[in-house]
Structure 1
Amino acid sequence: MARVINDRLALDLLLERGPLTAPQLRTLTGLSRPTVSDLLERLMEGGLVRVTGEYGEDRRGPNARLYGLVPDRAHVAGVDLRRHAVTAVVADITGRVAGEATKTIRGELDGLVERTIRDAAGGRALDTVVIGAPGLVDPRTGELVGVSDVPGWRPGLMGRVRQRLGVPVVLENEVNLAAVAELRTGSAAGSEDFVLMWLDDGIGAAVVLGGQVRRGVSGGAGEVGMLEVDGTEFCQLVSPDVMAGLDRAELAARIAKGAAVTVSILDPGLVVLGGRVGHQGGDELARLVAERLGALAPAPTEVRASTVEGNAVLQGAVLTALDLARDHIYG
């Protein structure tokens, strides 16, 4: 057990900091010289670490070897399954993108997901696949609850995808995955508690407490779209067509009314405005929502615009897949 813990500690440092020398690993881990020497030998024999160069090549005298991760030790895929297209990104174990593919949904979805993933993989074997899709995902079964908004979705689709790919495939709500990206690289970095309000062609929210996405018993945590606000479902109050015709002040007022419910119950301290509208609205929309939210909810709450660049769902899917693969491979 001590060896496993030490090995994972060293691997995580190499993931975080890049190639390191044995003395640097000793300093960072507090482990002895023989222990670090043994773990490096063990990791190299396991094909997890290799010598990537030398430290101090620009000076005279003996140089220390630099040890780095073997990037091709495993590959993962993150998938964004939306209403119009399937997009897959494949990354190596260090997180470097190795391939990407997108296919438009024109009817039958069966087979399209696997083809998109395989095109992105380019012949590389995959360790883990994480798919983000709209809808409730039951945490116990890993399957969608009820009807999906994705055209061509049929019961048993995920089972067929898993069978054809022959690797672990995890299905997750797309807003939950966007929250993972926000927590790791976006506006919520450093905050263990927050609610992500997703304002896009779909309306919803993700709840993160204690640094973990909270899904609820049936996967319904954060489904604010069905809340009744001013006699209208929130998803209708801020639908894409409606939002396009609102001035910024009215839009902020409507968003604040939906956010006030989760803030009053959860007291997260932070609300992140995500999706296309939240990202484009920027700091100005966040400021207006914060002003109106302060008058509606009893708990003081900061509001920030999403700062995740690109596809947050896809990034969250890749990050989640990497976590699972690293636990599998690194122990």
Structure 2
Amino acid sequence: MARAINDRLALDLLLERGPLTAPQLRTLTGLSRPTVSDLIERLRADGLIEATGETGEDRRGPNARLYGLVAGRAHVAGVDLRRDAVHVAVADIAGNQAGAATRPLPPEPDLVEQVAGAVAEAAGGLVLHTVVLGAPGLVHPRTGLSTCGGLPGARPDLLHALRDRLGVRVVMENEVNLAAIAEHRDGAAAGRDDFALLWLDDGVGAAIVLDGRLRRGASGGAGEVGLLRFQGTDFCRLLEPGGIRGLGGDRIAGRIVEGVFALVAVLDPGLVVLGGTTGREGGDHLAALVAERLAGLSPAPTEVCATAVEGDAILRGAVLTALDLTRDSVFMQSRPKALA
């Protein structure tokens, strides 16, 4: 068990900091010289790390050998399944992008073939370890069955059909939950244990993180604020792109705050991030307008800010999730067999 813990500690340091020397690993881990030497040899034998060069190559004298991850040891794919297109990003185990593809969806698509085709295009012949797919709608946290949120060509067994078609590990997750994972890791909620992400795009929903954990609910329905009704109208209808086009920031903020207040009144997250196209385009100005209105409704102090994730937050969250799962699996291979 101690070996497994030390191995993972070293691998995580190499992920975070890049190539390191044995003395640097000793300093960062606090492990002894013999322990680090054994650790390096064990990880090299397992094909997880390799020598990548030496320090001080431009000066005279003995140099310390640098060790880095074997980035090509495994590859993952993240998938953002929209109502009109499939977006895929492929990364190696170190998180470097290794491929990407976007495939528009026809009016009545075979989702299995469309997703599988886009994944194959992005992978470009690379063998994938794990694929994480984000889709709208409820995704049951135990069975993986999904309502697919009205996607054309939707089928409740999409997850299992994709596993059969791709022949690799496939995990399905609600797309807003994946965006929240990206926001928590790279965006406006970094370092926060509690926050809610309000997703404002062609669909409206929310994701909840409390005590540092994503909360899905018993059936995957946590955060489905688009179903709330205000003055007889669904919240998602109030904020769909066509419904707010041409409205000023004050009126849009007045609609958004209805859903934000519901989240704050029930959850008290301390931070609400406005994501999706509307949240990104509205930026700090829209967030400030919502915060001003919220302060007049709720006694709980709540920060409101715009998303800070660059690019496709759903795709980023899918890749991050796939990397976490793959690293846990691949790095475990260095454990003694009795512990694996």
TM-score range (shorter-chain normalised) is over 0.9
Deviation at 1:165, TM superposition (A): 1.2
Which aligned segments of 4 or more residues in structure 1 are displaced greater than 4 angstroms?
Answer: none
Aligned twin of 2:183 = 182
* Contact 2:139 2:146 (C-alpha < 8 Å) held by counterparts: yes
Q: 1:138 aligns with which of 134, 137, 140?
A: 140
User: Which stretch has the larger CA shift, 148-157 or 92-101?
Assistant: 148-157
For 1:186 and 1:157, the matched residues in 2 are separated by 30
User: Which stretch has the larger CA shift, 88-97 or 149-158?
Assistant: 149-158
* Contact 2:287 2:306 (C-alpha < 8 Å) held by counterparts: yes
Aligned twin of 1:44 = 44
2:95 equivalent to 1:95: yes
* Contact 1:194 1:269 (C-alpha < 8 Å) held by counterparts: yes
For 1:33, the aligned partner's letter is: R
Q: Provide Cα deviations, 1:196-219, integer angstroms capped at 9, x if missing partner.
A: 000001001000112221000000
Deviation at 1:60, TM superposition (A): 1.6
Aligned residues: 330
For 2:118, the aligned partner's letter is: T
Superposition map of 1:285-304 within 5 A: 285-304=286-305
Aligned twin of 1:261 = 262
Deviation at 1:230, TM superposition (A): 2.9
Aligned twin of 1:123 = 125
Aligned twin of 1:307 = 308
For 2:299 and 2:196, the matched residues in 1 are separated by 16
* Contact 1:229 1:258 (C-alpha < 8 Å) held by counterparts: no
* Contact 1:79 1:89 (C-alpha < 8 Å) held by counterparts: yes
Q: Counterpart of 1:78 in 2: which secondary structure?
A: strand
Deviation at 1:58, TM superposition (A): 2.3
2:177 equivalent to 1:164: no
Aligned twin of 1:151 = 152
Unaligned segments of structure 2, at least 5 residues:
333-340
* Contact 2:145 2:158 (C-alpha < 8 Å) held by counterparts: no
Q: Counterpart of 1:68 in 2: which secondary structure?
A: strand
Aligned twin of 2:241 = 240
Q: Provide Cα deviations, 1:94-129, integer angstroms capped at 9, x if missing partner.
A: 010101111111122231111111111111111100
For 1:120 and 1:241, the matched residues in 2 are separated by 32
Distance 1:148 1:285, change over 3 A: closer
For 1:253 and 1:148, the matched residues in 2 are separated by 26
Deviation at 1:48, TM superposition (A): 0.3
Q: Provide Cα deviations, 1:58-114, integer angstroms capped at 9, x if missing partner.
A: 222100000000000000000011000111111000010101111111122231111
User: Which stretch has the larger CA shift, 221-230 or 10-19?
Assistant: 221-230
Aligned twin of 2:80 = 80
* Contact 2:146 2:157 (C-alpha < 8 Å) held by counterparts: no
Q: Counterpart of 1:35 in 2: which secondary structure?
A: helix
Aligned twin of 1:202 = 203
User: Which stretch has the larger CA shift, 153-162 or 192-201?
Assistant: 153-162
* Contact 1:257 1:296 (C-alpha < 8 Å) held by counterparts: no
Q: Provide Cα deviations, 1:160-179, integer angstroms capped at 9, x if missing partner.
A: 11012111100000000000
Q: Counterpart of 1:268 in 2: which secondary structure?
A: coil
Identical residues among aligned pairs (%): 65
Deviation at 1:42, TM superposition (A): 0.3
Q: Counterpart of 1:138 in 2: which secondary structure?
A: coil
User: Which stretch has the larger CA shift, 8-17 or 248-257?
Assistant: 248-257
Unaligned segments of structure 1, at least 5 residues:
none
Q: Counterpart of 1:28 in 2: which secondary structure?
A: helix
Aligned twin of 2:114 = 112
For 2:84, the aligned partner's letter is: H
For 2:36 and 2:215, the matched residues in 1 are separated by 38
For 2:46 and 2:303, the matched residues in 1 are separated by 47
TM-score, structure 1 normalization: 0.98
Deviation at 1:183, TM superposition (A): 0.6
2:50 equivalent to 1:53: no
For 2:278 and 2:158, the matched residues in 1 are separated by 31
Q: Counterpart of 1:144 in 2: which secondary structure?
A: coil
Q: Counterpart of 2:176 in 1: which secondary structure?
A: helix
For 2:59 and 2:19, the matched residues in 1 are separated by 19
Q: Counterpart of 1:169 in 2: which secondary structure?
A: strand
Aligned twin of 2:279 = 278
Deviation at 1:35, TM superposition (A): 0.5
User: Which stretch has the larger CA shift, 240-249 or 1-10?
Assistant: 240-249
